[in-house]
Structure 1
């Protein structure tokens, strides 16, 4: 399979909290990447969370390989994309605003020193500087797509570690996470399970039924078709593998979006 990257998409908007790629792209998908980077903004005191470089390179700080898959997938689908520009350890945009794990103090055996004493005021500051602008960018993109008569089919790209500390190895190559709306998730699971080289998780290794998470806010609550795809991060550690997975997923998702029958003005679940 050819994985040579074509000309990259034009970045329409770069903000300290997010980047939007080709927001005027005509495709009916919207690609998201909540945990695209391990970057710690300079407004965090000292510009560091107090973790080692090794810890900051792990899955606890970002979804390894997910950004590369998301960028290439958006290109393949001719779709807009919104990616975060801050580490999930600064504040996690895939958590509800009132979730106690919004700012993690301990994750997979690592204490996050800069978060140990983060009080309500500090969490609110991080929300205003990172979390809220990221979600506002997604909302603006969805609103613009709807305004031009395109129903966004939201595809969120994540990755997971093959094994948590002290836990058994995870057997899945890819997981499909979803809650009440299975319009994309259920046929995607079926399509992926038809491929003999894949072990596919249905709401594994995590559940998609999290109130207030990114898909709940922008997909479920707005009645938009959506799915969260988790790829095991050792399978997408290198750019060529990221491109290959994007190119593997793109034709399947293109088919499912076309088959969904969801158009502007159509009744959708809420």
Structure 2
């Protein structure tokens, strides 16, 4: 789908598949469309390659998981620094001006009109397509794939290999998944670590909690999925565990 030159809010992988599992990847890419400040947010290329701009390794993991589960995946195609699809439209962090010590020059003076333009250009089309895909089945399960940096804001190293995030509003699938992952003796699994899993207005809230769909959010530490080979290996490991957890709560 395109809405003008260089604007592609999302990519859908495996759309013809009929699995009840829908894989989402909200922070799949660090791309800045030309329509946003000429395709440059004013920060260094090294910073655009960091977790502040996208979830490193998550896109490859999401598509490999979709293949392993014979499921459909939807991936964003714009940097979270342009506008964050995993934030509600009224969230103050929707367009970040400072993130993990890096000032985002192109966002410093963004006004309400520019936020609205980015919403219409990217954020809303992404969510409209996610809603369409989720509505194809009455029993859709949303599995959101993210990654996290081993260290944030100069703090200590994070020990978890995988974090499972969930809301108190519906933890059924996440708790089943945590139980299965913790049976793996070589993994350190976070339960709502490194973040709390409930954020009103985020993608899970919007497309799962508000619609009664089973859901979970998987965070993999990004130094573990930095290559295509590592992403494929983690997908092969996680896919049967996810499928088992879905069966547990069916």
TM tier relative to shorter chain = over 0.9
Aligned counterpart, 2:94: 102
Is 1:34 the counterpart of 2:26 in the alignment? yes
Question: TM-score by structure 1 length?
Answer: 0.89
The yes-or-no answer on 1:199 pairing with 2:188 is: yes
What is the distance in 2 between the residues matched to 1:212 and 1:44? 24
Gaps of 5+ in 2: none
Distance (whole Å) between structure 1 residues aligned to residue 62 and residue 96 of structure 2 = 24
Match of 2:58 among 63, 66, 87: 66
DSSP-derived class of the 2:133 partner: helix
SS of the aligned residue for 2:74 comes to: strand
> 1:134, 1:64 → 2: CA distance?
19
Counterparts of 1:84-233 in structure 2, within 5 Å, are: 84-146=76-138, 151-179=139-167, 180-233=169-222
Higher alpha-carbon deviation: 175-184 or 49-58: 175-184
Query: Which portions of structure 1, spanning 4 or more consecutive aligned residues, are displaced by more than 6 angstroms?
Result: none
1-structure distance, mates of 2:90, 2:203: 13
**With structure 2 as the length reference, what TM-score do the two structures score?**
0.96
Q: CA deviation at 1:145?
A: 2.5
CA distance in 2: counterparts of 1:206 and 1:94, whole angstroms = 14
3-state SS of 1:93 partner:
coil
Cα distance between partner residues in 2 of 1:58 and 1:212:
25
Paired with 1:188 and 1:259, the residues of 2 have a C-alpha distance of: 9
Measured on the aligned residues, the alpha-carbon RMSD in Å equals: 1.1
Partner of 2:60, secondary structure, is: helix
Pairs aligned (count): 245
1:45, distance to aligned residue in structure 2 (A): 1.8
Q: What is the CA deviation profile of residues 205-258 of structure 1, one whole-angstrom value per residue up to 9, with x for unaligned ones?
A: 111110000000001000000000000000000111001111111001111222
2:45 matched to which residue of 1? 53
Partner of 1:265: none
- Residue 171 of structure 1 and its aligned partner are, at CA, apart by 1.0
Query: 1 CA distance for matches of 2:175 and 2:107?
Result: 38
Q: Residue in 2 aligned with 1:3?
A: none
2:13–2:72 contact (8 Å) kept in structure 1: yes
SS at match of 2:22: strand
Distance 1:77 1:195 in 2: 20
